[in-house]
Structure 1
Amino acid sequence: MLKYVNTGVVFQEIPDEVTLSINLSGCPCHCPGCHSSYLWEDIGQPLTPSALDRLISDYESDITCVCFMGGDADPLYLNELACYMHSAYSDLKVAWYSGRAKVPRGVCRDNFDYIKLGPYIRHLGSLKKRTTNQRLYKNCDGGGFIDITSRFWDV
């Protein structure tokens, strides 16, 4: 069971979206230099569909996307939550920030509108750096995923 620690409405995680960011605990990646190392612990409240409903109800008219920040502890359950999101909230996009290098077996990529992949590697930098190993992909209706990481870079 995944647990969430806190939430926030953010504008920078997913380009062109007003996003409810949900921080999930129990991260197994333990990236050196992680800015959210407190999320390595098994803390917080269970993230169930009803908990998700409560979190969304506070912001539903203001947001366009829900982003799961983490979830690598149980990606198959996160996949189920993404399915739930698409059926219960068809007007909201679903995003996942994962520290994994690739989408885990058993997770259907099409359940997500956006997926960020890649562990944080300090000397390569975050998504804002051109040198980053991390990538944000956007699901293009029926056309697969495209890399939109460059949207974070100053041009």
Structure 2
Amino acid sequence: MIKYVNTEVVFQEIPDETTLAINISGCPCHCPGCHSSYLWEDVGTPLTTTELEHLIQSNDGMLTCVSFMGGDAEPATVDQLAAWLHDHHPEIKTAWYSGRIRLSRDIDKRHFDYIKLGPYIRHMGALNQSTTNQRLYRCVNGDELEDITYRFWKK
């Protein structure tokens, strides 16, 4: 069972979206320099479909996207929550921020509109730097990943 610690409505994690970022605990990646090391511990509130519905309703009308920030310890659960979200709120896009280099086999790309892959590597920078190893993809046609990382870079 995955748990979340907090949420925040954000405008920069997914370009052109008003996103509910759900910070999931129990991260197994432990990236050096991680800005969210408080998420390494297994703490927080269980993230069930009932809880997800509550989070969506408490932000009613504001959201265009929900992003699962983490969940690498249980990608199948993240996938199930994204599938539920697509079925019950088709008007809301889904995203997943993973610290892994490759997409888990437990993830069905059809359940997501966006997927971020890659651990934070300090000397390479975050998503807003063109030297980053991290990539944000837009899911296209249910099976293709289009790299849109450049959308974070300043012109």
Could you state the TM-score of these two structures normalised by the residue count of structure 2?
0.97
The residue that corresponds to 2:113 in the other structure is 113
Q: Which runs of 5+ in 2 are unaligned?
A: none
The residue that corresponds to 2:65 in the other structure is 65
Q: State whether structure 2 residue 51 is matched by structure 1 residue 51.
A: yes
- How far apart are the structure 1 equivalents of 2:80 and 2:111? 9
Query: Does the CA-based 8 Å contact 2:70-2:98 persist in structure 1?
Result: yes
| 1:13 counterpart SS class | coil
Q: CA deviation at 1:142?
A: 4.9
- Deviation readout 1:49-88 (Å, 9 max, x if unpaired): 0000000101130110000000101001111001100001
The residue that corresponds to 2:100 in the other structure is 100
Query: Does the CA-based 8 Å contact 2:67-2:97 persist in structure 1?
Result: yes
Q: CA deviation at 1:143?
A: 6.8
| Number of aligned residue pairs | 155
Distance 1:131 1:47, change over 3 A: same
The residue that corresponds to 2:35 in the other structure is 35
The residue that corresponds to 2:141 in the other structure is 141
Distance 1:150 1:43, change over 3 A: same
Query: Does the CA-based 8 Å contact 1:103-1:109 persist in structure 2?
Result: no
- How far apart are the structure 2 equivalents of 1:141 and 1:20? 24
Aligned-residue sequence identity (percent) comes to 60
- How far apart are the structure 2 equivalents of 1:142 and 1:120? 27
Query: Does the CA-based 8 Å contact 1:66-1:92 persist in structure 2?
Result: yes
Query: Does the CA-based 8 Å contact 1:67-1:95 persist in structure 2?
Result: yes
Query: Does the CA-based 8 Å contact 2:109-2:143 persist in structure 1?
Result: no
Q: State whether structure 2 residue 26 is matched by structure 1 residue 26.
A: yes
Could you state the TM-score of these two structures normalised by the residue count of structure 1?
0.97
Query: Does the CA-based 8 Å contact 1:65-1:93 persist in structure 2?
Result: yes
- Deviation readout 1:88-140 (Å, 9 max, x if unpaired): 10000000000000111121122110000000000000000100000000012
Q: Which runs of 5+ in 1 are unaligned?
A: none
Q: CA deviation at 1:13?
A: 0.1
Q: CA deviation at 1:144?
A: 1.7
Which stretch shows the higher mean deviation, 101-110 or 35-44?
Answer: 101-110
Superposition CA RMSD, Å: 0.9
- How far apart are the structure 2 equivalents of 1:106 and 1:131? 29
Amino acid at match of 1:9: V
| 1:23 counterpart SS class | strand
